[in-house]
Amino acid sequence: MSTSQEGQHHDLFEIQTLFDEICNILKSTGINLKGLFLNADPRFDSKEFQEVCQKEEIIANVKPNPRNSANQQHEPYQSGTHIFDEELYEDRTVIEHANAWIDGFKALLVRFEFSVRNWIALHFIAFSVIFLRKINKKQKV
């Protein structure tokens, strides 16, 4: 497991080590990473991140960072290392919003429940509350 260090670090700080750690956890559970599609924001637009994805045969959908994309050549899709699909990237935003709404429920954020059954049940309750909030918006007059 990695240890945090003092100071402010960018998103790519020790990306090789951390990404390898995540991949090893996924592999230990039997998840095949080959061909996995990964959406990432412009902060991950780097040659180093592309290389770690390529090593694991993960297809990275990384929005080009305008600050450094002029200096970088992206691998073509045929090599399976890097593509950018705007429509799929927009789906990432929807997922992040849903995760943020769920984080509003302290019992789920902190995970007070040890029972998986109860924890899943709390998620269903949270999803129901979120849904009701969305459909029960007061109409503006």
Percentage of residues of the chain with pLDDT beyond 70 = 78
Q: What is the pLDDT of residue 39?
A: 85
Q: What is the pLDDT of residue 77?
A: 47
Q: What is the pLDDT of residue 4?
A: 53
d(CA 40, CA 45): 8
Q: What is the pLDDT of residue 128?
A: 93
Q: What is the pLDDT of residue 27?
A: 92
Helix (H) or strand (E) holding 72: none
d(CA 74, CA 54): 12
Record the pTM: 0.56
Q: What is the pLDDT of residue 2?
A: 52
Cα–Cα nearest to 19, from 65, 59, 51: 51
Q: What is the pLDDT of residue 78?
A: 47
Residues of the chain with pLDDT under 70: 1-11, 69-83, 138-141
Output DSSP code: residue 52.
Answer: H
Q: What is the pLDDT of residue 29?
A: 92
Q: What is the pLDDT of residue 73?
A: 56
State both tokens at 3. 């240890």
Residues linked to residue 38 through DSSP beta bridges, in sequence order: 60
